[in-house]
Amino acid sequence: MSKLTTGSFSIEDLESVQITINNIVGAAKEAAEAEEIGPMGPTPFPGLASYRDDWNLVLLDRYEPVITPMCDQCCYCTYGPCDLSNNKRGACGIDMAGHNGREFFLRVITGTACHAAHGRHLLDHLIETFGEDVPLDLGQSNVLTPNITITTGLSPKTLGELKPAMEHTEEQLTQLLATVHAGQESSEIDYDSKALFSGSLDHVGMEISDIVQIAALDFPKADPEAPLVEIGMGTIDKEKPFLCVIGHNVAGVTYMMDYMEENDLTDKMEIAGLCCTAIDLTRYKEADRRPPYAKVIGSMSKELKIIRSGMPDVIVVDEQCVRGDIVPEAQKLKIPVIASNAKIMYGLPNRDNQDVDATIEELKSGAIPGCVILDNEKLGELTIRLTQEMHPIRKAEGFREIPSDEQLKEWVDKCADCGACYLACPIELDIPEAMKFAKEGDYSYLEDLHDACVGCRRCEQVCKKEIPILSVIEKASQKLIAEEKGWMRAGRGQVSDAEIRAEGLNLVMGTTPGIIAIIGCPNYIGGSKDVYYIAEEFLKRNYIVAVTGCGAMDIGMYKDEDGKTLYEKYPGGFECGGLLNNGSCVSNAHITGAAEKVAGIFASRTMEGNLAEIADYTLSRVGACGLAWGAFSQKASSIGTGCNILGIPAVLGAHSSKYRRALIAKTYDESKWKVYDARNGEEMPIPPAPEFLLTTAETWQEAIPMMAKACIRPSDNSMGRSIKLTHWMELHEKYLGERPKDWWKFIRNEADLPLAKRADLLKVLEADHGWEIDWKKKKIISGPKIKFDVSAQPTNLKRLCKEA
Amino acid sequence: MVDTTKNTKLFTSYGVTTSKAINPDMAAKMISKAKRPLFVVGTGVLQPELLDRAVKIAKKANLPIAATGSSLPGFLDKDVDASYINLHQLGFYLTDPKWPGLDEKGNYDMVIVLGFKKYYINQVLSGTKNFSSVKAISIGRDYIQNATMSFGNISKEDNYAALDELIENL
């Protein structure tokens, strides 16, 4: 009985009795574990301690947690608030380091829970709609679920077979959340180990979220030529009714799009969105390359801006990254708000059980500012019909105009130049200076603020004159906004096995200099063009650039002098110089999945239940580095931490120092830069790279050489090392003004030297570092502390060594 | 004299410990007394009015410069001892007594910071404040809570004048 996972049986002696078993919790896992499914690593279905000693503490020994508290105090329980400054212990006994380890860990499990809950919602919804047997058709791949497989050991092939992985993630999340309670875990290093574990689960939750929608909703399937999608506030046709969707969960939106198609409305109204729902609605039914009609407005930083523009006739929200003030802001412009997911209900009345006609009348009259509709069929019909009907009403009542020129002047003149907005602005925009010039009639300084402004409204909160500063900036930027039109490639989904086979050797040898993954939110330091500059620089140098989410959107907003976006200029495949948009935030699982596939497919490593070995391989051999330049959300912390446990370093923008934790190695401590040679278990020295797993950069110009350096790996062959050093040294010189001081630490022999500067660099090695050079043969005789051995097998895991 | 001790309102981090607001003459005195000071400059220092004063401070007090972010190009032709290092990395290394420093002569006992986004330097300095004995003096236009001593929130112009006074007093 307990071996049954699903099925039905009848009891013959009792007539008319039939018992149907849909699922026994735990039985699927048990059956999967018992099944002979080939080689299996040591950690299938891992628990809180499974990765701790074997891998996490190894990582954390080299990449030490750097604690930067947000607050001196702990305000967690009624013993406190306790002053923990100078690493003091509080009333419960926890110290500052432990408390901040908990604070960061809490962010990570929050992010993991968001993706896992998103995955659960989609899994249940799609199984209910399409059945359990929908095959996981994700493109030309045999390895369909790399993150699930290395975590659980399973290789599900249908929607139904994903249930054990989903259950495992949920079970471990409960265990992890329990450790946050007062009087539980208090060690900082163990919170970091738990955060890493949670990060790995996050990529399972994300993987489930994306593959179920790819399989069931016919999204592009590992498609390098997924269609181009219009992006930007300027793409919206103001003359058409406009339905604006915000959030991360596309389930409800598909019903709206179906209703539009069934009623021949796709060219008669606009449907566009912000954040990941927007990315995913442009993927819906796109596997057959139907011309997309859905548009993307942009990231979360545009939420308040698009509402204040007055353009949306109806707003639908689902979950995650949705502002808390959408209802009051929308109400000012008579825009009804529909909450379509139980995770955000805004205190609105539920109209699931009411007739659609009656609800439309209620909303049109303004009797209610919005409502909750969780019934997807009703949601599809109501939102489309309501948008059609609200459009002429709002137009007639003049709600479609942003403030007049006179109103703008009036607001600007009210400014008392107190400077409070500058102090409050998270981006430190010099709003007082721009207002000063605006008073003199020069609005260009205000216009300059538009791109950097994250639309948070903190300036308005502190303005004693109650000037709607965000609206002032947006009005002054009207022309700029109208021109905000770009192209983004619709999310292509996974990297196929064929692409991995074709590119794996180049990556492992280092001849493709690296994978640069640009992900995450819009809380940038200097404006959204930062990520465009970074992507362009690496694409020009033949790195593989993989993008997702808000970063993917912002990269598509800018054009070169010929009017082309990067998506139009570079191919969408996993290849040297390729620009892949994998999809929405949950598609980040495909980026880690690609690195895992290099180990599993290219290097034939066992993937099943074998996280540490796969991660060790990536850290040693696969030059990948993430960039979350505007990381803002808790999900960004879990995505990044998931990359870290898998051996992928990440550079974050300066705001992310507020996550309170980084993972940085001591480059000067030689004891940290040793690995084992798996052939015989002997220790071998390695260069100090990558020198961090998680850190922040101050400017995009600093981030570029940091990322190029982070792609250097101990196993690079000489040609690969030479190519990687060439790029890093050139980029360092280009952006930081001079040759890096520590380049020589990466040289094992003369073949490692960048080709174009070999003779010059040999002279430096001799003169500055005392290395012996045979000038006739142009060979290094002595000097390097690290040796190159083509057959060496560097590993951080002693158990993988033959002599172990 | 510019009063740089006014307006110490916080918009970055929170807690019971806040830095002592100081005037330029006191800042100059503290810098002069330090045994192993390090001048840490961020990318904001590339504004000409700040860059010129930063160079003068480094020369007059004979301070080595840790040029973080992308600020190094501003110092390459200025006859000062400037090296690039990432700020977060620097903040971490400052908490390690074994760090050999930028010149291999050991860790520092004081950092003087200028030219940063306030949220970034404040967050990095929360690490040095809680996990080291390194003193930090902020001489920018923003009040930095997690420094040991800091100017208050002042205008750009007052900041320039305060830096001129500091240079005079070094």
- A83-102 burial code (b ≥16 CB/10 A, e <16): ebbebeebebebbbbbbbbb
Which amino acid belongs to residue A345? M
| Residues A335 and A315 sit within 8 Å (Cβ to Cβ) | yes
Beta-carbon separation of A698 and B153 below 8 A? no
| Residues A55 and A612 sit within 8 Å (Cβ to Cβ) | yes
Residue with tokens 């604690």: A67
SS3 content of chain B, % helix, strand, coil (to 5): 40, 15, 45
| Residues A468 and A429 sit within 8 Å (Cβ to Cβ) | no
Question: What is the spatial distance between Cα B160 and Cα B139, in angstroms, rounded to a whole number?
Answer: 10
Average pLDDT by consecutive 10-residue portion of chain A (804 residues)?
53 60 59 65 98 98 97 94 95 97 98 98 98 96 97 97 98 98 97 98 98 97 96 95 97 97 96 96 89 92 93 97 97 97 98 98 97 98 98 90 87 94 93 96 95 94 96 93 94 97 89 94 92 98 97 95 97 97 97 96 95 97 96 96 98 96 97 95 94 98 98 94 97 98 97 95 97 96 91 94 78
Locate A769 and state its tokens: 């570092």
Q: Which residue of A has its CA nearest to B18?
A: A72
| Residues A625 and A246 sit within 8 Å (Cβ to Cβ) | no
| Residues B86 and B119 sit within 8 Å (Cβ to Cβ) | no
Question: Is residue B117 within 8 angstroms of chain A, CB to CB?
Answer: yes
**Per-residue pLDDT, A2:** 44
Residues of chain B in contact with residue A70, where contact means CB-CB under 8 angstroms, are 13-14, 123, 126
Question: Is residue B118 within 8 angstroms of chain A, CB to CB?
Answer: yes
Beta-carbon separation of A69 and B69 below 8 A? no
**Per-residue pLDDT, A398:** 87
Residues of chain B in contact with residue A742, where contact means CB-CB under 8 angstroms, are none
Residues of chain A in contact with residue B118, where contact means CB-CB under 8 angstroms, are 428
**Per-residue pLDDT, A9:** 56
User: Residues B65-108: pLDDT tens digits?
Assistant: 999 999 999 999 999 999 999 999 999 999 999 999 999 999 99
What is the distance in angstroms between the Cα of B92 and the nearest Cα belonging to chain A? 6
CB within 8 Å of A60: residues ≥ 6 apart: A189, A192, A193, A196, A663
CB within 8 Å of A390: residues ≥ 6 apart: A241, A313, A314, A334, A335, A336, A363, A364
Question: What is the spatial distance between Cα B29 and Cα A133, in angstroms, rounded to a whole number?
Answer: 76
Question: What is the spatial distance between Cα A332 and Cα A369, in angstroms, rounded to a whole number?
Answer: 10
Residue among B11, B17, B127 whose CB faces A72 most closely? B17
Residues of chain B in contact with residue A740, where contact means CB-CB under 8 angstroms, are 84
CB within 8 Å of A101: residues ≥ 6 apart: A65, A67, A187, A188, A189, A190, A191, A192, A195, A661
Question: What is the spatial distance between Cα A607 and Cα A599, in angstroms, rounded to a whole number?
Answer: 8
Question: What is the spatial distance between Cα A555 and Cα A545, in angstroms, rounded to a whole number?
Answer: 11
| Residues A663 and A694 sit within 8 Å (Cβ to Cβ) | yes
What is the distance in angstroms between the Cα of A484 and the nearest Cα belonging to chain B? 28
Q: Which residue of A has its CA nearest to B77?
A: A737
DSSP symbols for A224-266: TTPPEEEESGGGS-TTS-EEEEESS--HHHHHHHHHHHHTT-T
What is the distance in angstroms between the Cα of B147 and the nearest Cα belonging to chain A? 13
Residues of chain A in contact with residue B66, where contact means CB-CB under 8 angstroms, are none
Residues of chain A in contact with residue B91, where contact means CB-CB under 8 angstroms, are 66, 68
Cβ neighbours of A353 (radius 10 Å) = 7
**Per-residue pLDDT, A1:** 40
**Per-residue pLDDT, A25:** 59
DSSP state of A110: H
Residue among A96, A664, A702 whose CB faces B130 most closely? A96
Residues of chain A in contact with residue B155, where contact means CB-CB under 8 angstroms, are 419
CB within 8 Å of A781: residues ≥ 6 apart: A771, A772, A773, A774
Cβ neighbours of B158 (radius 10 Å) = 17
Three-state DSSP at A83 gives: strand
Question: Is residue B32 within 8 angstroms of chain A, CB to CB?
Answer: no
Residues of chain B in contact with residue A664, where contact means CB-CB under 8 angstroms, are 88-89, 92
| Residues A603 and A793 sit within 8 Å (Cβ to Cβ) | no
What is the distance in angstroms between the Cα of B33 and the nearest Cα belonging to chain A? 24
Beta-carbon separation of B153 and A423 below 8 A? yes
Locate A754 and state its tokens: 């960048």
Residue among B69, B126, B127 whose CB faces A699 most closely? B69
**Per-residue pLDDT, A579:** 98
Locate A29 and state its tokens: 């896992």
Question: What is the spatial distance between Cα B116 and Cα B163, in angstroms, rounded to a whole number?
Answer: 15
Question: First-to-last CA distance in chain B?
Answer: 15
Beta-carbon separation of B84 and A69 below 8 A? no
- Each as own residue / partner, the long-range contacts of residues A122-127 (CB below 8 Å, 24 or more positions apart, any chain) are A122/A208, A122/A209, A122/A212, A122/A213, A122/A249, A122/A251, A123/A159, A123/A162, A123/A163, A123/A166, A123/A208, A123/A212, A125/A251, A125/A376, A126/A159, A126/A212, A126/A213, A126/A215, A126/A216, A126/A217, A126/A251, A127/A159, A127/A160
Rounded average pLDDT over B155-161 = 96
Beta-carbon separation of A698 and B72 below 8 A? no
Beta-carbon separation of B76 and A738 below 8 A? yes
Beta-carbon separation of A737 and B17 below 8 A? no
Beta-bridge partners for A338: A316, A371
The runs of H, that is alpha helices, within A477-574 are 478-482, 497-509, 529-540, 549-555, 566-569
CB within 8 Å of A124: residues ≥ 6 apart: none
Query: What is the pTM for the complete model shown?
Result: 0.95
A81 preceded by cis ω (within 30°)? yes
Beta-carbon separation of B43 and A662 below 8 A? no
Instruction: Classify burial at A328, counting beta carbons within 10 Å of its beta carbon; exposed 0-12, middle 13-18, buried 19 or more.
Output: exposed
Q: Which residue of B has its CA nearest to A734?
A: B73
Tell me: ipTM over 0.90.
Answer: yes
**CA dist A277 to A32, A518, A645, Å?**
34, 19, 28
Question: What is the spatial distance between Cα B74 and Cα B111, in angstroms, rounded to a whole number?
Answer: 19
Residues of chain A in contact with residue B153, where contact means CB-CB under 8 angstroms, are 419, 423
| Helical (H) or strand (E) element with A627 | strand A624-628
Max alpha carbon distance in chain A (Å)? Answer: 97
Beta-bridge partners for A659: none
Question: Is residue B106 within 8 angstroms of chain A, CB to CB?
Answer: no
